[in-house]
Structure 1
Amino acid sequence: MSISILLVEDDIDLAETVVQYLEYEEISADHAFNGEAGLNLARQSDYDVIVLDVMLPRLDGLSVCSRLREDGVDVPVLMLTARGTLDDKLAGFEAGTDDYLAKPFELAELSARIKVLAKRRSGETKKLVVGKLTMDLNRREAYRGEKLLKLTPTCWELLEVLMRRSPAVVSRSSLEEALWGNDRPESNSLKVHMHKLRQQVDGASDFPMIQTVPGHGFVLRNNESS
Structure 2
Amino acid sequence: MKLLLVEDDPGIARFALRGLAAEGYVVDWHRDGRNAAASLATGSYCAAILDLGLPDCDGLDLCRDLRAAGIDTPVIMLTARTTLQDRLDGFDCGADDYLPKPFAFAELVARLAAMIRRSGMRPGRIAFGTLRLDQIAREAFVGTVRLTLSRRAFDVLAALVQGGGPVARETLLKSVWGSDTEVSDNSVDVYIGTLRRVLAAHPDAPTIRTLRGQGFQLVLKNETI
How far apart are the structure 2 equivalents of 1:31 and 1:121?
22
What is the match of residue 56 of structure 2? 58
| Paired residue secondary structure (2:108) | helix
Relative distance call for 1:225 and 1:62 in structure 2 (3 A) is closer
| Paired residue secondary structure (2:119) | coil
Decide whether the 8 Å contact of 2:6 with 2:32 is kept in 1.
Answer: yes
User: What do residues 76-120 of structure 1 show as CA deviations (whole Å, max 9, x unaligned)?
Assistant: 100011011111011101110000000000111111111111223
- Match among 4, 7, 23 for residue 5 of structure 2: 7
Decide whether the 8 Å contact of 2:43 with 2:130 is kept in 1.
Answer: no
Relative distance call for 1:168 and 1:116 in structure 2 (3 A) is farther
What is the match of residue 31 of structure 1? 29
- Match among 81, 86, 93 for residue 95 of structure 1: 93
What is the match of residue 83 of structure 1? 81
> What stretches of structure 1 of length at least 5 have no aligned partner?
123-128, 132-165, 170-221
Q: Segments of 4+ in structure 1 off by > 6 A? A: none
- Identical-residue share of aligned pairs (%): 39
User: What do residues 122-175 of structure 1 show as CA deviations (whole Å, max 9, x unaligned)?
Assistant: 9xxxxxx979xxxxxxxxxxxxxxxxxxxxxxxxxxxxxxxxxx6399xxxxxx
How far apart are the structure 2 equivalents of 1:45 and 1:32?
16
How far 1:225 moved relative to its partner?
Answer: 5.6
| Paired residue secondary structure (1:44) | coil
What is the match of residue 167 of structure 1? 144
Q: Which has the larger radius of gyration?
A: 1
How far 1:121 moved relative to its partner?
Answer: 2.8
How far apart are the structure 2 equivalents of 1:224 and 1:113?
36
How far 1:39 moved relative to its partner?
Answer: 1.3
Q: TM-score, normalised by structure 2?
A: 0.54
How far apart are the structure 1 equivalents of 2:204 and 2:62?
29
| Paired residue secondary structure (1:14) | helix
Relative distance call for 1:27 and 1:130 in structure 2 (3 A) is closer
> What stretches of structure 2 of length at least 5 have no aligned partner?
121-128, 132-142, 147-200, 206-225
Aligned residue identity for 2:203: E
Relative distance call for 1:15 and 1:223 in structure 2 (3 A) is same
